[in-house]
Structure 1
Amino acid sequence: MDVDLAVLTLYPSKKKMLWMMLTSFAFSVGGMFIIQDGDVLGYACFGFFGLCTLVSGLMLMPGANYLTIRPDGFTSCTVFRTIDVNWLDVLEFRVLTVAGTSTVGWIYQPHYQPKARARKLAAAMSGVEESLPANYSVPAQQLVALLDKRRRIALEEGTAVRWAAGGIDLPSRWPAAQAPAKGE
């Protein structure tokens, strides 16, 4: 079996999520001290960093964040919200750098219509129409190369067809080329 072609699921760093949660908690405690001093700014600090603590705690839960790369495309999940992207809809992947942090973004094919206005605005601001929320413990340039490779193989083999269009029955070098179960 070619390991490069296995259905692959990547996860973000738990250490970074835990660090973010603890740092946010410390700032929310600092906000409580500011409130005790009578400053209204303490409420904003406590509210914002309390929410950050809650969200980063949710991100530590199993199944909350992942990137799964399949024969027909990939699924990105952040805080239990998923987006599915088919290889047929992607024109190209790019490294996107925002505030010194690099991540992976992509541009959709011209035929792709969902969220057209939002994608146009995103492209005007960042140069990509959509991006992954994390690098899943892989440097951005390597993740772009991996996604490009998987997309190229799927397009060459014809496994990039939508599962509803019969992709399950296509012969493939991808092991276990079958539609993922709901929630995977």
Structure 2
Amino acid sequence: MNRVVIIDEHPLVRMAVRTLLEKAHYQVIAENNGEDAYNTIDNYYPDIIIIDIAIHSQSGLSLIKRVRNMGFPGIIIVVTAKSADLYAPRSAQAGANGYISKKRPFHDILLAITAAQNGYGFFPYQSHAIERVAPTADAEKLERLSAREFQVLQHILSGNDNGKIAASMHVSTKTVSTYKSRLMDKLECPTPLALFEFMRRNQLE
């Protein structure tokens, strides 16, 4: 139970995680920058996956769901700079065993792996050691979003316009506009400027 695949766009992050894991006697069998990550996992079939959900080639959350749906029984630890209040619960729902903020010491990765090996999750809302980012009221608003509304929000955060969002989600631009309207209502952001301020306030990126 010590074969690891690391998926992250940033070479320095991959190197840092590899160094940490190898010192702890884990075997890093492959690295991937996000391109064709599913095939890397399928080909090497590791015991542990360390993944950043902010990969441009696809949604990291969608990749986690896909890996779980194919029957992957191992440990998946998310290591990302994304907002914990927004992404930690979604990571858990997708099938991750743990969530580590890149603002935390990377040694937390080892703690998360150990917790998962013993049948426990490792998430910000379960640990006093990891500070919550978003105010409680905003976190509750984010929890109101449906899976599709959340997906649209991710595209907005990536700077995609309605056409790109529609193509990626295989829906019409009218449907995208409907999702946008709903998520703005649920987040209580009546204008695009208010939505931008919500993102800035909660360090969403």
Q: TM-score range by the shorter chain?
A: under 0.3
TM-score, structure 2 normalization: 0.26
TM-score, structure 1 normalization: 0.28
Greater per-residue strand proportion = 1
Which has the higher relative contact order, 1 or 2, with Cα contacts under 8 A spaced 6 or more apart? 1
The structure number with the bigger radius of gyration is 1
